[in-house]
Amino acid sequence: MEKKTGCIFFKKLNEAQKKKKAIYLECLAIKEAVKYWQYWLIGKHFTVYSDHKPLENMNIKSRIDEELGEFTYYLSQYDFKIKYAPGKDNLEADCLSRNPVLEAVDDTDEQLRIVNLIQLQDVVTDQEKNENIQRDMVYVENGHKLNRRKLDELRIGPYRIEEKISDTIYRINTGHKKLESNLFHITKLIPIPV
């Protein structure tokens, strides 16, 4: 029977884990993978293939040493066996595990400069030119407050009309707090000039 990879699980090691012994790392990998797919594995017998030969003979049910105790305790609830598979026979996993992972760059200033290449005014100008948007948008007259609290900011729009409730009442999408009224009388709405 030919074996094919059905899915792959990755997890990056933290700095403390990188300093541990190989048997610890291999057992950690098994525990994390089993935990990730536990819903498919609980109550079923399955086989774990590992390229770490000592794990094949490790008795999960009776291992109580401190270093691997947490893993063996967790894994003891599953019905599985570990089989040794040389790394040369499992090229996909071997290549993926040795693939270098780039560290995150902590240069948020540069990222903000890139993000801010598009200015708010550019977006507003583009919206004003877009006929599809203009057809369904309205302003609220005189900066009518959508929420009646004293210190809330004035919001003028444009807003998208979501629903015509009657000939004089419209529901608009303000994109703001749920407490705000989004129902307006037609006299308070001004179509955007095209």
Position 153 confidence tier, pLDDT thresholds 50, 70, 90: very low
Q: Which of the 8 DSSP states describes residue 188?
A: G
Position 93 confidence tier, pLDDT thresholds 50, 70, 90: low
**Residue predicted with more confidence, 186 or 28:** 28
Pick from 40, 72, 32: nearest CA to 55: 72
pTM for this entry: 0.46
- The structure tokens 């609980």 sit at 42
CB 180 within 8 A of CB 174: yes
What is the Cα–Cα distance from 80 to 10, expressed in whole angstroms?
A: 21
For residue 43, pLDDT over 80 is answered with yes
Mean pLDDT in residue range 15-23:
86
CB 27 within 8 A of CB 57: no
